[in-house]
Chains A and B, each alone.
Chain A
Amino acid sequence: MIAPALNPALHPAALAFAGRHQPRVWEPIVWILALVFYFAFPNHLGFGTELLITILFALSLDLVLGYAGIVTLGHAAFFGVGAYTVGMLAYHGFWNEPISSLMLAAIVAALVGLGSGLVLLRTQGLTLLMLSLCTMALLEEAANLGHEYTGGFDGLASLPIPKLLGLFEFNPLYPRTQYVYVLTVLFISFLFIRTVVYSPFGQSLTGIRENTLRMHAVGSPVRARLVTCYTISAAIAGIAGGLWAQANAYVNLTTLGLDRAAMVLIVLILGGCGRMYGAFVGAVAYMVLAHFLAKLYPTAWQLGLGFLLVVIALFARNGILGIGEALLRRFRAKRMPR
């Protein structure tokens, strides 16, 4: 018989740990804001759609980078594979039903993720960074060379995307359907990622990130876990890419490019990685700033953006969410009785 105070399962830290998968009160706010955006800014839905897709893409990167600690600079490879799966199937008249196309995009991207993960994840650090980058560049060049099928640099334009569920048309000028559709997919994917992260599997990923050697020592199948995580993340990135192709009715080489891979990395670090909502905060901060600065100063917006990145890197740990957490901690510490 253990006294309650000594029962490890009842220790406050253990309780917090056991309950951390439960939804927090503020979590619905994010989604309410996303819905408010739909009604408040009907003329910005094109931007909104791009923003939501970036969030989903950043979330997929968070899984490998933030939780498993795999530093990759080639994540756009999976985004591109997803986009080209949807794009090529639709363009060449094989298949274009939106929802099932997305599933196919996820499957193809997952296969590419599994294949490259088995090879690349033997390495780490700079080597892994360069290997992931080169793999992506290889895919990009392959898409350029195979221009008869992929459209090359010009891309595949005016993809015939039918009505969603046979009811809602994808209007290019007023992308309402695209926005709601992407938001729905983002929500479902988010629930899935949340479940993965708080599962024992997710716990072991964090363990690998913090101390690979110890995870080996406790008998965790490190390589297999990493590859599984990489594959799941690739599938989600593929979905994001597929959504991009559908929402724009267009796919081209930049879906596979370094610019996109670097951008999503910046977005995630800016927001704060390993916290899921970092993807949201980072994407909003980066894209809103880039978008509106570019409107005000079409030739000089990069200056402001660069300044923001430098300031965040210098004065915050773990991005914008890191600042928030530090402030919250200070606030709580003040309120605590001494």
Chain B
Amino acid sequence: MIFGVDVASMILGGVAAGMVLFIVSVGLSVTMGLMGFVNLAHGAFAMLGGYVIVLSMNYWGVPFLPALAFGFVVTAAVSVVFERTLYARLYRAAELEQVLFTIGLVFMTIASVTLLIGPENQQLRLPAMLQGQVNLGFTQYRTYSVFLIATGIIIVLGLWLGFERTRIGAQIRATVDNRRMAESLGINVNRLFTLTFAFGSGMAALGGGLGAEFLGLDPQYALKYLVYFLIVVAVGGLGRVTGVFYAALLIGVLDFVLKKYIPKGGTLFIYGLTILLLLWRPQGLFAGKST
């Protein structure tokens, strides 16, 4: 019985961490898959959203859930402005110029946030109902982790339905698979780009806010966790919602288990594992299927 509880708590902890990875990374995967745009500033949008959410809670007393929605909307709106005025100019440019541009954006974001708000870490104050532990019947577990898992499941279901069952989802899938063909069928690719970019950035904002409890929130956020997001996207496959979901869960759980049982190995295993996974399936674990 002890063993069962142990396994359950491990899986819960790992899945909760994986959910945060998923929520932030899914937007990155879709925009990279759809537009072929290497958007290293994705973490900056997650950070922006996180700041909007945490600061609006701390200074204006906005409750948690409305603050999340507010962060989503603000970040999505800001990202549309960026997409239309700046990103759009670089859609046809070489990958490397996109890297240079987005890294420049990241630097500017970090410096601006440091100047305007300060270098310190911002604290997310969870509502009382999400603190402490909850009884799940078979085990006690951290309430917030359970909340994250529930939120993650709702989001992935919503996204899956959106991708599989709506017209716009079908358009996105078509464009990921063959952009030229999609364009010639009359799909307005530019509008699609703007929409998905806004949506992806909004998701990143949600992830920034939801994950602040685990990942913290300071100006370096934009750069610190980028590698993890990129690993999830690479392992999950570009433009694959369910792929990113499974990859995030896999990495979350494995990371948790390795940290708990072999803490002396540091990050050695997680990088080693990523290498093996990518060598085994270079296009991502879940390539070949759409969505």
Contact = CB atoms under 8 A, between A and B. Distances in A.
Q: Do chains A and B touch in the complex (CB under 8 A)?
A: yes
Contacts of A129: 230, 234
Nearest to B238: A126
Nearest to B101: A313
B274 A134 contact: yes
A127 B105 contact: no
B275 A138 contact: yes
Nearest to B40: A262
Contact of B282 (A123, A305, A310, A313): A123
Given A119-B279, A300-B114, A309 B107 contact: yes
B9 to A, nearest CB: 26
Number of chain A interface residues as a range? 35 or more
B233 interface: yes
A313 B267 CA distance: 34
Contact of B231 (A65, A130, A135, A258): A130
Given A266-B100, A300-B115, A302-B110, A127 B234 contact: yes
Contact of A306 (B86, B104, B268): B104
A306 to B, nearest CB: 3
A309 B115 CA distance: 19
Interface of A is mostly: helix
Interface residues of B, number: 45
B89 interface: yes
- For the residues of B in contact with A, the DSSP-based class is helix
A305 B108 CA distance: 8
Interface string B26-39: 00000010000000
Contacts of B95: 71
Interface in B230-265: 230-231, 233-234, 238, 264-265
A273 interface: yes
A314 B86 contact: yes
A319 B98 CA distance: 12
A225 interface: no
A307 B32 contact: no
Contact of A314 (B90, B264, B268): B90
A303 B104 CA distance: 9
B99 interface: yes
Interface stretch (A29-37, A140-148, A168-176, A181-189): A140-148
A126 B105 CA distance: 20
Contacts of B89: 314
B100 A313 contact: yes
Interface of A: 65, 71, 119, 122-123, 126-127, 129-131, 133-135, 137-138, 141-142, 144-145, 258, 262, 265-266, 269-270, 273, 299-303, 305-314, 317, 319
12 contacts: A65-B96, A127-B284, A131-B279, A266-B100, A270-B100, A302-B108, A303-B111, A306-B104, A306-B105, A313-B101, A314-B89, A319-B100
Q: Ordered nearest first, which 3 A-B pairs have the shortest CB separation? A: A309-B104, A306-B107, A313-B101
Given A126-B32, A269-B99, A302-B108, 7 more contacts: A123-B278, A123-B279, A299-B115, A303-B108, A306-B108, A314-B90, A317-B97
